[in-house]
Chain A
Amino acid sequence: MSSVSAGADPGAVTAVEVTEAPTTGSPAAAPRKRLADREGALAWIFLMPSVAYIIVLVGVPFALAIGFAFSDVTAGDPSFDWVGLRNFRRAFDDPVFWQSLTNTVIFTGVSMVLIVLLGKVLANILIANFRGKWLVRFVVLLPWTTPVALSSIAWLWMLDSIFSPIDWVLREVGLLGEQGALLGSGSNMYWLGKPGLAMASVIAVHVWRITPLAAVIMMAGLVAIPRDMEEAAQVDGAGYWRRMVEITIPLVLPVAAVAALFGVVFTFTDFAVVDVLTRGGPNNSTQVLTSWAFFRGIEGGDIGQGAATALFIFPILLAAAIAILRAVRRMDVR
């Protein structure tokens, strides 16, 4: 047997000789570890920029905010004097603070629900296969890619008290401006001028802006569901809604929770939309914690007060994030 293999395949013999031929490298070049081989050192080198970034631009301001919240620093008198919990006590005594907190919770809660629901619907559109889908995808993502200041100003014009195109459309279709019209006989809605409408407008603009992000997150979740799962449900005789409710949504739930978390964080900390559209008005009806902290601390110059108000966001957000992430962990779907 062995004689046959050697005789039948002379190439194999040569191959063996060749592998033995090369001598080992010159003895002077001892094997050594280079920097690129040292994973511990590399880890530090690669992490340093982000660590520095977080310390300088997140850690320091956060520590400063905590410090200011317990001080009497104002724009006019920057000297630091410890005042204990006085800033917090004053904030709690202020009805506007409580209104801001309530508004923030409403703003966040309603926005989050709408963002997740509309995000899911948009995600279904994003993964669907149809002619001209690139155009739809482009348009869907546009609100998220537009700078918030620009898009908010655009909405400010859309919701203008006199020249609002929305009002014009409503008038043209007969819902507004006539005797007995559904939305009243006045010529305008005054979107940002009435408390309830102002809040609804702020929520609508914010939802319009964040939904594309939620949709993209949710799309990733939908794409990750094995196609077999959907097909098995089809073969098992389930219709569209049963598949959606019993298969797709449970499987996408962890990702939807992440989208909700982003929605909560971005809404709770949002300042631009409120500032541009209403500046908290009318009569503080759209005042949220961030805008209130800004008006007290920066515009009002009472930095201690502003810091104490802003700091209030932190524990609430932390609790919400922990609750959502825990819920995700309990949803062991895979």
Chain B
Amino acid sequence: MSAVVTVRDLVKTFDHGKVRAIDGVDLATEQGEYLVLLGPSGCGKTTLLRTIAGLERPTTGQVWINGFDVTGLPPRARRIAMVFQSYALYPHKTVHANIVFPLRAARMARPDREQKVRWAAELLGIIPLLGRKPRQLSGGERQRVALARALVREPAVFLLDEPLSNLDAQLRATARDELKRFQQEIGTTTIYVTHDQAEAMGLGDRIAVLSAGQVRQVGHPVEVYDDPADTFVARFIGSPPMNLVARDGVLVGFRPEHLLPADAVPAGDRVRLKLAVDRMEYLSGDRHLYGRVSGLGPETRVVARLPATVTSPITAGEAYDFVVLRDRLRFFDARTERRTDPVPL
């Protein structure tokens, strides 16, 4: 059985069924995979993670870990390790005592557990911190201690709940890189919850996009970005998000970077549009054009992102000929908002 964690028909309701935090989720992770649960606040991603951890009891459905049904089991029987958003380090214990705690709880012999702590601390580069108390650590150091505490148990799966959200923006980029390298070194299956799509794209082997307690799409970052399963994913992923233009019962979608001046795309099967630019932003070398597009359906506000390599002169307040390559267009049913077959334009 290659799936480390499998959830089946999982439903979790709160307040006597009034709130459906998880609304029928089926999901399986593969061995050694980095699966990211991505969604806006309140979409149920943290509840899903907590249910896998055993901190929440599902209303219906099952959780399987390593081939065993653990649905009714307490967290400690599940061979999991979790890093909390707050890190939840024990404030009255030293770093060493924090890391050794799970091993003592597992009644490991002292020489063995000292060796384990040493190994984990070395891996995360926190040997010099072992004697300190959590309040004497910086945010990044705390995160590493929390990881070390999770690591020493050699769990079947790591569960990480927005572990980067408490770090400042500069530290977050390096911490993200460290997390990824760490996971590749350990090779342990990881489920990672975040609302930050950059984190999800950068870290995930696969991304599960959640909304309103349901999985909208599971796939490789490229898949989720290029071939969104529905308009929610199309709008949620990408910054700026995918443009959607209504036409004859379908929504025609195209990414901002595929809407380009006609003179910048000389060849290929092009769909011609008219873009009336009313505002322009210059962001890290790219030009973001805000305006109204016509020629596809009713006039719709869209965004175009011109990379630095496209140098066509554009002035706000003017209208220009723009094109999208036909194979870049995505089609969604206007009623169900799911992907549909292309329609002739």
Contacts and interface: CB of A to CB of B under 8 A. Distances in A.
A160 to B, nearest CB: 48
B143 to A, nearest CB: 14
A251 B92 CA distance: 7
A246 B149 CA distance: 16
B163 to A, nearest CB: 12
Interface stretch (B36-44, B76-84, B120-128, B321-329): B76-84
Interface in B298-328: 316-317
B74 A229 contact: no
B212 to A, nearest CB: 25
A332 B93 CA distance: 10
Contact of A251 (B53, B76, B91): B91
A5 to B, nearest CB: 8
Contacts of B171: none
Greatest chain B CB density within 10 A among A4, A233, A237, A250 is at A237
A232 B82 contact: yes
B84 A231 contact: yes
Nearest to A232: B88
Contacts of B76: 234-239
B316 A232 contact: no
Interface string A304-334: 0000000000000000000000000001111
Interface stretch (B100-108, B174-182, B197-205, B254-262): B100-108
B90 interface: yes
B280 interface: yes
B88 to A, nearest CB: 4
A226 B88 contact: yes
B60 to A, nearest CB: 22
A8 interface: yes
Contact of B105 (A5, A8, A238, A251): A238
B110 interface: no
A238 B104 CA distance: 9
Contact of A239 (B81, B82, B91, B105): B105
Given A226-B88, A228-B88, A232-B88, A1 B316 contact: yes
Interface string B51-85: 00111000000000000000000111000111011
B91 A8 contact: no
Contacts of B263: none
B279 A4 contact: yes
Greatest chain A CB density within 10 A among B53, B91, B278, B279 is at B91
Contact of B91 (A3, A236, A333): A333
A110 interface: no
Contacts of A8: 278-279
Contacts of A7: 317
Interface string B173-211: 000000000000000000000000000000000000000
A242 interface: yes
B96 to A, nearest CB: 14
A3 B316 CA distance: 9
B144 interface: no
Contacts of B102: 236-238
Interface in A1-39: 1, 3-5, 7-8
Interface string A243-286: 00011001100000000000000000000000000000000000
A81 B55 CA distance: 73
A246 B101 contact: yes
Contact of A234 (B74, B90, B92, B153): B74
Contacts of B317: 3-4, 7
Nearest to B277: A4
B135 interface: yes
A315 to B, nearest CB: 33
Interface string A55-88: 0000000000000000000000000000000000
B75 A235 contact: yes
Greatest chain A CB density within 10 A among B74, B81, B102, B105 is at B105
Contact of B55 (A235, A236, A251): A235
B47 interface: no
B135 A334 contact: yes
B102 to A, nearest CB: 4
Contacts of B133: 332
Given A4-B317, A334-B135, A236 B92 contact: no
Contact of A228 (B54, B86, B149, B280): B86
Q: Considering the complex of A and B, which 7 residue pairs feature the smallest CB-CB distances, nearest first? A: A228-B88, A232-B88, A237-B76, A236-B102, A237-B105, A4-B316, A238-B105
29 contacts: A1-B280, A3-B317, A4-B278, A4-B279, A8-B279, A226-B86, A228-B86, A229-B88, A232-B82, A232-B88, A232-B90, A233-B101, A234-B74, A234-B75, A235-B53, A235-B54, A235-B76, A235-B81, A236-B105, A237-B75, A237-B106, A238-B76, A246-B90, A251-B91, A251-B92, A332-B133, A332-B135, A333-B91, A333-B92
Interface of A: 1, 3-5, 7-8, 226, 228-229, 231-239, 242, 246-247, 250-251, 331-334
